[in-house]
A and B are shown apart, each in its own frame.
Chain A
Amino acid sequence: DAGVIQSPRHEVTEMGQEVTLRCKPISGHDYLFWYRQTMMRGLELLIYFNNNVPIDDSGMPEDRFSAKMPNASFSTLKIQPSEPRDSAVYFCASSSGFGRRTDTQYFGPGTRLTVL
């Protein structure tokens, strides 16, 4: 398996622009997580999906952030409009629940977002 795939790996944009980050989870995994990593706040869980349904979005910082999972193999995280404080590394992770509590989250390589 290719693992969790994220694109783009790097994104530089200007304040006010829309940014879309993409994630392809590992085939067969039914959980998908979006994290943000910054120096100030460390790794934060933004939102997670189970079977394509958003379950907990309490970590989404504000209404400018939205996430979708239209099918089992694709998810997006959108920021509109973007602001310099959104600059961070965004990680996607997936795991296969199937009732097993011992499951591991597998992380993608991340997208480094810079908002100028």
Chain B
Amino acid sequence: AQSVTQPDIHITVSEGASLELRCNYSYGATPYLFWYVQSPGQGLQLLLKYFSGDTLVQGIKGFEAEFKRSQSSFNLRKPSVHWSDAAEYFCAVGLILTGGGNKLTFGTGTQLKVEL
């Protein structure tokens, strides 16, 4: 069965600093990988996704992630963090469903705090 590990429960960065959130996955085949963000009291919003091709994926809000098969990782990065990026971030791996679509398994999330 697929699984996702986000080793950092909490991360604090200063505004303007760079950010990297770690994600490791376990999956028997080529994984379909996602990063979602959840602001307080809100649902989850997709930041980016990887299915195939270029291992560096660009997303919304200036985020990017790099798929590294040799390390079973899909870390999320942003060169300069803004105070509005404070939220909880979830990495997920997708199991392809018959007829299309994905069944997602989520990591436990990383809470990002941004210091002004």
Contact residues of A between 58 and 116, Cβ < 8 Å to B: 91, 93, 95-110
Q: For A48, what are the chain B residues with a Cβ–Cβ distance below 8 Å?
A: 103
With A43-B90, A50-B97 known to touch, is A105 a contact of B104 (CB < 8 Å)? yes
Picked from B41, B46, B99, B106, the residue with its CB within 8 Å of the CB of A43 is B106
With A97-B97, A110-B43 known to touch, is A105 a contact of B102 (CB < 8 Å)? yes
Contact residues of B between 70 and 116, Cβ < 8 Å to A: 90, 96-97, 99-109
Find out whether the CB atom of B51 lies under 8 angstroms from the CB atom of A4: no
With A91-B44, A107-B44 known to touch, is A98 a contact of B100 (CB < 8 Å)? yes
Number of interface residues of A (CB under 8 A): 29
A45 beta carbon closer than 8 Å to chain B: yes
Find out whether the CB atom of A4 lies under 8 angstroms from the CB atom of B43: yes
Interface residues of B (CB under 8 A from A): 32, 34, 36, 41-46, 49, 51, 90, 96-97, 99-109
In the complex, besides A42-B108, A43-B109, A55-B97, 13 extra interface pairs with C-beta distance below 8 angstroms are A31-B97, A31-B101, A91-B44, A93-B44, A95-B101, A101-B32, A101-B101, A106-B46, A107-B36, A107-B44, A108-B43, A109-B42, A109-B43
